[in-house]
Amino acid sequence: MDSVVLKPGKDKAVRNRHHWIFSGAVKSLPDFENGSLLPVRSADGELLGHAYFNRKSSIAGRMVSFGDTPPQDAIRQNVDYLRGLARSGRWPLLRRNPPVFTVLQNPMQGVRVLLITHLKELWGAPPAVSVH
């Protein structure tokens, strides 16, 4: 699979687990449809993770997973985190420290189905969230 390659020195934010990749940090993009999930590599070829990409946005990429963690595993971990919050009634934590996942129109239909299925299981009924 073709990868997105970042410019030299522009991988620091991703290495620090920042989820946005700005268009100015990108050295090269493969051919892809907006919303595609692609591997992200440093200028020297190291795999940094996977992100959804959109050429039309100044935030060109949104990281889904870091390092060699498969995107599907990262999404499962986030869904598990959401389940834990739902069971504990600690929904306000989502506003302060949201887990990382994105649902966009994309060719990764399996990831979307996985996420939507888990969210439907989690939210049989909309959660009661108090606004402070």
If one compares 36 and 116, the residue with the highest pLDDT of the two is: 36
Claim to verify: residue 61 and residue 10 sit in the same structural domain? yes
Instruction: Report residue 103's pLDDT band, with 50, 70 and 90 as the boundaries.
Output: very low
Claim to verify: residue 57 and residue 77 sit in the same structural domain? no
Residue 93 domain boundaries: 71-122
Instruction: Report residue 92's pLDDT band, with 50, 70 and 90 as the boundaries.
Output: low
Claim to verify: residue 75 and residue 61 sit in the same structural domain? no
- 100 within some domain: yes
Query: In the chain, count of helices (H) and strands (E)?
Result: 4, 6
Claim to verify: residue 87 and residue 47 sit in the same structural domain? no
Claim to verify: residue 34 and residue 75 sit in the same structural domain? no
Residue type, 57: S
Residue 36 DSSP SS3: strand
> Where does residue 86 rank: exposed (0-12), middle (13-18), buried (19+ CB within 10 A)?
middle
Alpha-carbon distance of 61 to 37, in angstroms, equals 9
| Residue 58 scores a pLDDT above 70 | yes
Question: What pLDDT, on a 0 to 100 scale, did the predictor assign at position 97?
Answer: 46
Listed residue (38, 63, 48, 61) closest to 12, CA to CA: 48
Q: What is the mean pLDDT of residues 114-123?
A: 66
Max mean pLDDT among 58-62, 95-99, 128-132 falls in: 58-62
Structure tokens at 79: 């869904």
- 25 within some domain: yes
Compute the chain's Rg from CA coordinates. 16
- 106 within some domain: yes
| Residue 98 scores a pLDDT above 90 | no
Question: What pLDDT, on a 0 to 100 scale, did the predictor assign at position 130?
Answer: 45
Domain-ending residue, one of 44, 66, 88: 66
- 128 within some domain: no
Domain-ending residue, one of 66, 90, 109: 66
Claim to verify: residue 26 and residue 56 sit in the same structural domain? yes
| Residue 43 scores a pLDDT above 90 | yes
Q: Is the pTM of this model over 0.75?
A: no
Alpha-carbon distance of 104 to 54, in angstroms, equals 10
Number of domains, the chain: 2
